[in-house]
């Protein structure tokens, strides 16, 4: 895992949520999703409590890698676009909008 990767939380009240890694601090990762965990107040979580999902090519990921300031709106959009691309159309319980019934 590295800064700008998308990870899924495995533990805690945010379990199942997608986040961008903003930074890595030893055995901890610094996470934000732009909604529940904003860039101004990121979540510090142990590496073992997250799983790697993807290394996106989104603009937000590029800004994180370059050390530039990223906005909450950019994180939200990038995560929403990623979730839409990864929705499984073969899922029998899926609605056309990607939401399950």
Mean pLDDT of 59-79: 92
Fold observed for domain 6-85: SH3 type barrels. (2.30.30)
Domain ranges of the chain: 6-85
DSSP letters, the chain, are --TT-EEEE-SSTTTT-EEEEEEEETTEEEEE-SSSS-TTSPEEEEGGGEEEEE----HHHHHHHHT----HHHHHHHHHHHHHHH--TT-TTB-TTS-B-
pLDDT digits (tens, 9 = 90+) for 11-23: 989 999 999 999 9
Give the model's pLDDT for residue 89. Answer: 59
Indicate the burial class of 20 (C-beta count within 10 angstroms; 0-12, 13-18, 19 or more). buried
pTM across the whole model: 0.79
């Amino acid at each position: 895992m590295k800064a700008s990767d998308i990870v899924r939380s495995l533990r805690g009240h945010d379990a199942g949520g997608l986040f961008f890694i903003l930074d890595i601090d030893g055995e901890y990762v610094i996470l934000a999703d732009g909604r529940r965990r904003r860039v101004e107040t990121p979540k510090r979580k142990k590496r073992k409590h997250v799983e790697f999902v993807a290394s996106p090519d989104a603009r937000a990921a590029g800004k994180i890698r370059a050390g530039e300031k990223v906005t909450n709106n950019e994180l939200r959009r990038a995560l929403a676009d990623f979730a839409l691309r990864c929705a499984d159309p073969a899922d029998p319980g899926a609605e056309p909008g990607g939401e399950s019934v």
